[in-house]
A and B are shown apart, each in its own frame.
Chain A
Amino acid sequence: MSYCVNCGVELDAAAASCPLCGTPVVNPRAPAVPGAPGAFPERRGEVAPVDRRGAGLTVTVMLAAASACCAALNRFVFAPGVPWAAYAVGGAALFWVLAVTPLLWRAHPAWRAALDLTAVMLYIALVARLTGGWDWYFRLALPIALAVAAAVAAPCIVAALHRSILTTTMTALGALAVFLIALEALIDVYLRAAFAPVWSLICAAVALVMIATLLVVRLRPRLREEVRKRFHT
């Protein structure tokens, strides 16, 4: 039998080093036998992941069938001249991308968010195409959707980098402030062709005050501890 010279514990006969500290076993009278079976097996086991493709395919078939029915009814029965089925088919396609693709495709959240955003934009483009509204689409809908995506992405990225809750909250507030200013600017430019900020500045000012408060808390350990104590759950 061998003992770890560092920890003082007895070691398994097959151990080449101490499992607690990694110190190699050097015992000329009882050398570790390479390849000898250890106290535990070597083979790793893995539980098979849940297969959700069945549910995904079922919903896909249901959506496809509903879309085909709508298209047929539109073409042959109800108001053939008005393409109302396009809204239903487009809505089904949007739902499919949002709800079913996660069941069929394991992807990084960033890719998934990009796909969802693209699907939403395409559906709004379909509405714009059917209503002849390319002007509001390019000048209002598309920029607002991109601004929403950017405002949501910023705190998510910060959170993914394992920053503190305070940092993430500050980022979220900052992104919200920028988004609101951009939103008012887009609406003003679209409606009046001139940017005259009012309500967005008020919201941004409130957000900035909150950010400044959180920043002070973030940078002062004693204050942070006090806040943690007062708000502990």
Chain B
Amino acid sequence: MAKEKPSGGWYRLDNAAVVYSALQRSEYSAVYRFSVVLARDVDPDALRRAVARVMPRFPGFRVRMRRGVFWYYLDGAPDFVPVVRTDIANPCQPVRFSSGDELLRVYYYRARLSVELFHALADGTGALVFLKTLVAQYLRELGHDVPFTCGVLDPDAPPDPAEWEDAYPRYATSRARRSLGEHAAYQYAGTPEPFYTLNVTMGLMSAPRVRAEAKKLGATVTEYLAAALIRALIVVQHREGRRREKPVALVVPVNLRPFFETRTLRNFILTVRPCIDPELGEYTFEEIVSQVHHYMRLHLTRQELGAYMTQNVALQRSKLLRLVPSPLKNAAMALGFRLVGERPYSMTLTNPGILTLPDEMRPHVRRAEMILGRSYTGLTNCAAITCGDELCVSFSGAIRETHLEREFFCFLVRRGIPVKVISNRKEAGECPTV
């Protein structure tokens, strides 16, 4: 695709945004949420002032989705300021482009301050920068002094064009191409909930404790959580009594910034697919951790990630495909994703890591939370985020049963990691006793 032209007040979609925009439906929400739980209840007036103050610093978020003839695009909306609303029980509601729905939403409930983003705008890294800047400005509105460090941006500074770069084409230069053509994986499913429901179950635990447990096994926190989730999926699948068990595979988004230099706040991620095939035999938890760890070390290389990027961007660079009208392209992408795109994955696990805050903000922020919207078939997704000494792991989906969540959290408890569970469920689904 041609070079970015931010001066024109509109943005081409980046590679990931093209996919998320094409997939967006009522039954698929490419919306995710970051929250911080503050030490005191949120003051909505101060929050409104803070939102209005920081939005000019983020021109890439002051946009609306528009349908072009050949591609969707993000049209500049210089006056857009998201409405600050009281929170809802079913977060991450899908976006409907035609109704001019907001791609960025701000909510508050008691001490929780939440930001929801449509994934076409930014990945987790960009969203966290926005959240940190917003919370810092909110605290300033309340009279606290917060410096512009640890990724907190100065809302009065002019926007930096480098922050709105589409970094994919710059690094999609590999001669080789790679794609994730993998076999079908086990799909965790259950009784679907009524439309507009998103069940959220969060486990709060000590981050140093989990880190120490992971370190004992020579793994990172993400690898440890991925292994625990794969183990839980294997157990749940085994309980279903299948004649032939399918591989259990996670889709784990990877932040590309440590591998490729860029300051962009827009999407710059790829995914990897740690996988365990139960048909090969029983795996101990330690073996699963080892498999996941070595898979990550082996495949997270600059060269391999570049080849994946080249493959993905090739579709956008194809002159023939670029001339196909957008409704056809979007329908084909949505159908392809529905039929084969999700099949290789059991569910998503994302861990944007540690929310680092300036020392002045730490006493005011108790923890951070992250929630993913619902997918087509993998109806439950998992997200983790750490703030201070608290790690929050959330499961979100539209399934009545809680087998997976229970298996995951009970396993951590058995490993000696105390877990506190909170949920928006009205009643728990039926669960077998362990």
Separation of A7 and B402 alpha carbons in the complex (Å): 12
B320 interface hit (Cβ, 8 Å): no
CA distance A40 to B184 in the complex (A): 36
Indicate whether B203 reaches chain A with its CB closer than 8 angstroms. yes
**Which of B87, B95, B422 has the most chain A CB within a 10 Å cutoff?**
B422
* Interface status of B421 (Cβ within 8 A of chain A): yes
Given contacts A17-B428, A44-B90, A47-B93, contact A39 B422 (CB under 8 A): yes
Categorize the interface residue count of chain B: 35 or more
Q: Can you list, as one digit per residue, whether each of A30-68 has a CB less than 8 Å from chain B (1) or not (0)?
A: 000000011111111111111110000000000000000
The answer to whether the Cβ of A225 comes within 8 Å of any Cβ in the partner chain is yes
A40 adjacent to B109 (CB under 8 Å)? yes
Return chain B residues, CB-CB under 8 Å to A6. Answer: 433
Q: Which residue of the partner chain, among B87, B96, B101, B427, contacts A41 with CB atoms under 8 Å?
A: B87
Q: Is A219 part of the contact surface with B, judged by Cβ < 8 Å? A: no
Q: Contacts A7-B410, A44-B196: A12 and B96 contacting too (C-beta < 8 A)? A: no
**Chain B residue nearest in CB terms to A51:** B99
Give chain B residues whose Cβ lies under 8 Å from the Cβ of A109.
none
Q: Tell whether A18 pairs with B93 under 8 Å between CB atoms, given A7-B410, A9-B419, A45-B88.
A: no
Minimum Cβ distance to chain B for residue A45 (Å): 3
Within 8 A of A (CB), among B394-434: 402, 405-406, 409-410, 413-414, 418-425, 427-431, 433
Contacts of A48 in B (CB 8 A): 96, 99, 101
The B167-211 residues at the A interface (CB cut-off 8 A) are 183-184, 196, 200-203
User: In the complex, which residue of chain A has the Cβ closest to the Cβ of B414?
Assistant: A8
Q: State whether B410 touches A19 (Cβ < 8 A).
A: no
Complexed CA–CA distance, A41 and B429 (Å):
20
Q: What are the residues of chain A within 8 A of B431 when measuring CB–CB?
A: 20-22
B86: interface (CB < 8 Å)? yes
- Is A225 in contact with B96, judged by CB distance below 8 angstroms? no
Q: Is A11 interfacial (CB 8 A cutoff)?
A: yes
Residues of B within 8 A of A18 (CB): 421, 428
Q: Does A10 contact B (CB under 8 A)?
A: yes
A38 CA to B270 CA, complexed, in Å: 36
B397 to chain A minimum Cβ distance, whole angstroms, is: 14
In the complex the two chains form, is A46's CB within 8 Å of B196's CB? yes
B413 touches A7 (CB 8 A): yes
**In the complex, what residues of B have CB within 8 A of residue A22's CB?**
427-431
State how many angstroms separate the Cβ of B294 from the closest Cβ of chain A.
Answer: 27
CB of B280 closer than 8 Å to a CB of A: no
Give which listed residue, A9, A21, A47, contacts B203 with CB less than 8 A.
Answer: A9
Alpha-carbon gap, A4 to B409, bound state (A): 12
User: Which B residue sits closest to A221, measured CB to CB?
Assistant: B243
Chain A: minimal CB distance from B257 (Å): 32
Contact of A50 among B99, B405, B410 (CB under 8 A): B99
Q: A232 near B: Cβ within 8 Å? A: yes
User: Closest A-chain residue to B430, C-beta based?
Assistant: A22
Residue pair A19, B422 in contact (C-beta under 8 Å): yes
A233 at the interface (CB under 8 A from B): yes
Q: Which partner residue on chain A sits nearest B204 by CB separation?
A: A10
Q: How far is the CA of A73 from the CA of B297 in the complex (A)?
A: 76
How far, in angstroms, from A229 to B418 measured CA to CA in the complex?
Answer: 43
User: How far apart are the CA atoms of A22 and B433 in the complex, in Å?
Assistant: 11
Distance from B202 Cβ to chain A, minimum over Cβ atoms (Å) = 8
Minimum C-beta distance from A157 to chain B (A): 21
- Known contacts A41-B88, A44-B89, A21 near B406 by CB under 8 Å: yes
- Rounded to whole angstroms, the CA-CA distance of A44 and B419 in the bound complex is 27
Q: Is the CB of B428 within 8 A of A19?
A: yes
Known: A10-B421, A12-B422, A39-B422. A21 touches B402 (CB 8 A): yes
In the complex, what's the smallest C-beta–C-beta distance from B313 to chain A, in angstroms? 24
B338 contacts which chain A residues (CB < 8 A)?
Answer: none
B363 to chain A, nearest CB (A): 21
Residues of A within 8 Å of B422, CB to CB, are: 12, 15, 19, 38-40
A15 and B423 alpha carbons, distance in the complex (Å): 9
Q: Are B402 and A47 in contact (CB under 8 A)?
A: no
A232 close to B183 (CB less than 8 A) = yes
- With an 8 A cutoff between CB atoms, is B98 at the interface? yes
- A33 vs chain B, min Cβ distance (A): 15
A19 to B410, CA, bound (A): 12
**Nearest chain B CB to A99's CB is how many angstroms away?**
15
B199's nearest neighbour on chain A, judged by CB, is A19
Set of chain A residues within 8 Å of B319, measured between Cβ atoms:
none
Tell me the smallest distance from the CB of A104 to a CB of chain B, in Å: 15
Most buried by B among A8, A49, A52, A233: A8
Does B216 touch A at the CB level, under 8 Å? no
Which of A9, A38, A43, A50 contacts B88, CB < 8 Å? A43
Q: Which of A20, A43, A44, A47 contacts B428 (CB 8 A)?
A: A20
Residue B94 at the chain A interface, CB threshold 8 Å: yes
A66 to B202, CA, bound (A): 59
Q: How far is the CB of A164 from chain B (nearest CB, A)?
A: 16
Q: Whole-angstrom distance from the CB of B427 to the nearest CB of chain A? A: 6
Q: Is the CB of A7 within 8 A of B409?
A: yes
A171 to chain B, nearest CB (A): 21
Q: How far is the CA of A233 from the CA of B406 in the complex (A)?
A: 33
Cβ of B238 within 8 Å of any chain A Cβ, yes or no, is no
Cα distance A33–B96 in the bound complex, in angstroms: 39
Closest 4 CB pairs between A and B?
A: A45-B88, A19-B423, A22-B428, A40-B424
What are 22 residue pairs bridging A and B, where the CB atoms are less than 8 Å apart in the complex? A7-B409, A9-B420, A10-B421, A12-B421, A15-B422, A18-B428, A20-B402, A20-B428, A21-B402, A21-B406, A21-B428, A21-B433, A22-B431, A37-B110, A40-B89, A42-B89, A45-B88, A46-B93, A48-B99, A50-B96, A50-B98, A51-B99
Apart from A9-B419, A233-B340, 16 more pairs, CB < 8 Å: A6-B433, A9-B410, A12-B422, A17-B428, A19-B421, A19-B423, A20-B402, A20-B405, A39-B424, A40-B424, A41-B88, A41-B424, A43-B87, A47-B93, A47-B99, A47-B101
